[in-house]
Amino acid sequence: MRQFIAMVILALLAGCSAKPLIVHHVEKFTGTGENELYVVSHGWHTGIVVPAATIQQQIPELKARFGDTPYIEIGWGDKGFYQAEEITSGLTLRAILWPTESVIHSVAVPQRPVEFFSDSDVKKICLSNGELESLIRFISSSFYKDGAGNVLALKNGLYGNSQFYRGVGDYYLMNTCNKWTAKGLKSAGMDISPTFKLTASSVMRYLSPLNMTVKECGRDGLATAQFKLP
């Protein structure tokens, strides 16, 4: 019986969507670019903090929602678990074992992420324009868009000035929020294997040698990239 259940679970997972898919960036990551990227660990979950102007170019709804904030934190996760006011064991097991719909959590970050997330583990990385563009492609593809290209806003977010949006792809055991973060880093050209980056600690351990908290990226530490994605 156990073997049968295991086979059923594997069959279900095999048919799950592995989206959002990695954007393959051919240039080697150097870590010497002029654009700031931050990865934040909130204990069990990681998010990516990008210069707001870059993602707002691709998703105008984020400009309308958050205005001229300098940064936006983006996270991807299970629809039920992520939006729940109270985390239960049932929600946790369902999120891990059963394929579920995903959501995007977007947060306005009005100051330096290391200050705004002072109680969290924050890693800073410097990206070139090409690396940032590739990452933004990945993040943009993580938002569900209707036939007219509009994103779908859901309920208010978890903290600060934040908002949930409908996401792309299924959340399940081998496609977690932290794997999503690893996919984003891979899309930026980093030599990271997302396959087993299922926990926040596994992502942050990879980033530790790259942490550039003191170093400024480029002249002023803010994004200079201006690009338009198809």
User: What rounded mean pLDDT belongs to the chain?
Assistant: 83
Residue 160, in any domain of the structure: yes
Q: What is the mean pLDDT of residues 105-133?
A: 95
Residue 39 near residue 203, CB atoms below 8 Å: yes
CA distance 189 to 50: 16
Stretch among 34-38, 50-54, 97-101 having the lowest mean pLDDT? 97-101
Return the pLDDT at 8.
Answer: 36
Q: What is the pTM of this model?
A: 0.83
Residue 149, in any domain of the structure: yes
Return the pLDDT at 193.
Answer: 93
Residue 168 pLDDT class (50, 70, 90 cuts): very high
pLDDT of residue 9 exceeding 80 = no
- Total structural domains within the chain: 1
Domain that holds residue 197: 2-210
CA distance 113 to 212: 13
Residue 112, in any domain of the structure: yes
Residue 45, in any domain of the structure: yes
Among 62, 53, 82, CA closest to 157: 82
Return the pLDDT at 27.
Answer: 84
* Percent above pLDDT 70 for the chain: 77
Residue 226, in any domain of the structure: no
pLDDT of residue 120 exceeding 80 = yes
CA distance 30 to 10: 38
Residue 132, in any domain of the structure: yes
Residue 36, in any domain of the structure: yes
Q: How many residues does the chain have?
A: 230
CA distances from 185 to 3, 68, 217 (A): 36, 25, 17
Residue 54, in any domain of the structure: yes
